[in-house]
Amino acid sequence: MRFIVALTGASGALYALRLLHQLVASEHQIDLVLSEPACVSIAAETDLKLSAHHLDIEKICPGGSDFITAHNPRDIGASVASGSVKHDGMVVVPCSMGTLGRIAHGLSDDLISRAADVTLKERRKLLLVTREMPLSLLHLKNMVSVTEAGALVFHACPHFYHRPQNVEEVVDTVVDRVLDHLGVEIQTRRWKDDFQK
């Protein structure tokens, strides 16, 4: 399968890094786009120092070079900006409220919003993993707009009924739901699997 994964400047880089790791481990092809603000957020939340324009794949996802193609966020002519390029879904993770607003209003001013716009018009899966609180009325209206257009909004709300022991297990509760909706087979603990003893 082939997926587009886009990172914006919202907090929540760990969700994106874990998603990339899981997709590469399952040997899926990934078209990756990082916004410039995403690199700032990643540097604040991890030890990674990245450039959106010259992305080092092995730095962001060790072992990912055979599966990940990086795209410049300003390259509106990139393959993923065209509806003729087939893919199995796009995930914007984390999705900033600014990016959500641009997608909701069809403003294709960078590769992320253009690829999302094309994904919607081609009726392909578009998953937006938002991570902001509290939400303003504008944020909520934009979420309604993208949902009406066919996107799925995943507000990054981890669950705790499996009693996670570390941050990675918390992150996986969100990432596993995203993978489910992409149709990627995963091993995960589900509600009532073995929680009630």
* 10 labelled ligand-binding: yes
pLDDT bracket for residue 51 (50, 70, 90): confident
Percent of the chain with pLDDT over 70: 95
pLDDT bracket for residue 92 (50, 70, 90): very high
* 1 labelled ligand-binding: no
* 89 labelled ligand-binding: no
Instruction: List the one residue out of 196, 103, 91 whose CA is nearest residue 147.
Output: 103
Domains and CATH numbers, the chain: 2-182 (3.40.50.1950)
* 35 labelled ligand-binding: yes
Backbone angles phi, psi at 157, to 5 degrees: -115, 95
pLDDT bracket for residue 194 (50, 70, 90): low
* 147 labelled ligand-binding: no
* 145 labelled ligand-binding: no
pTM of structure: 0.93
* 11 labelled ligand-binding: yes
Radius of gyration, CA atoms only, the chain: 16
* 74 labelled ligand-binding: no
Q: What is the per-residue pLDDT for 197?
A: 43
Q: pLDDT tens digits for 118-171?
A: 999 999 999 999 999 999 999 999 999 999 999 999 999 998 988 889 999 999
Q: What is the per-residue pLDDT for 105?
A: 98
Q: What is the mean pLDDT of the chain?
A: 93
DSSP state of 47: S
Burial (0-12, 13-18, 19+ Cβ within 10 Å), 196:
exposed
H/E element, 14 = helix 13-25
| Distance, CA of 61 to CA of 21 (rounded, Å) | 6
DSSP for 80-147, written as a single string? GGSTTS--S-EEEEEE-HHHHHHHHTT---SHHHHHHHHHHHTT--EEEEE--SSPPHHHHHHHHHHH
Percent of the chain with pLDDT over 90: 86
Q: pLDDT tens digits for 182-191?
A: 999 877 766 6
Q: pLDDT tens digits for 19-30?
A: 999 999 999 999
* 97 labelled ligand-binding: yes
Residue 73 preceded by cis peptide, ω within 30 = no
Q: How many CA atoms lie within 13 A of 96 on its CB side?
A: 18
Q: Tell me how far CA of residue 158 lies from CA of 106, 179, 186, in angstroms.
A: 29, 14, 17
